Amino acid sequence: MTDYSMNEKMTIVQYAIKKYDNENTVIKKLKSVLAEKDIQRSIDTLIGTQKVRRIGPETLQNNESHTELPELPENLKDVINSL
């Protein structure tokens, strides 16, 4: 696994949530890229900073009315496309 900064991890998680809104699916897809601990930490941080909101027991959604998705850096485009 590649070492990503915390900001990169959160960006990856946000784009995964945009692609798949089910939390279990997001975690399953990201396990090939990030450690589960990092995935959970990123989700919790994104919810705490209101960049992501939980809708129902297993559904996550980017809170785009509150904050925009960060611009996707070139080095992460392949990662997101491979999910």
Give 65's pLDDT tier (boundaries 50, 70, 90): confident
Domain locations in the chain as residue ranges: 6-81
Rounded to an integer, the average pLDDT of 45-67 is 92
* pLDDT band at residue 67 under the 50/70/90 scheme: confident
pLDDT tens readout for residues 3-14: 899 999 999 999
Of 7, 8, 9, 30, which is closest to residue 19 (Cα–Cα)?
30
pTM above 0.85, yes or no: yes
- Percent composition of the chain: helix, strand, coil (DSSP 3-state, to 5): 50, 10, 40
pLDDT the model gives residue 1 = 64
Instruction: Select the CATH number that applies to the domain covering 6-81 from these four: 1.10.10, 1.10.3470, 1.10.20, 3.30.420.
Output: 1.10.10
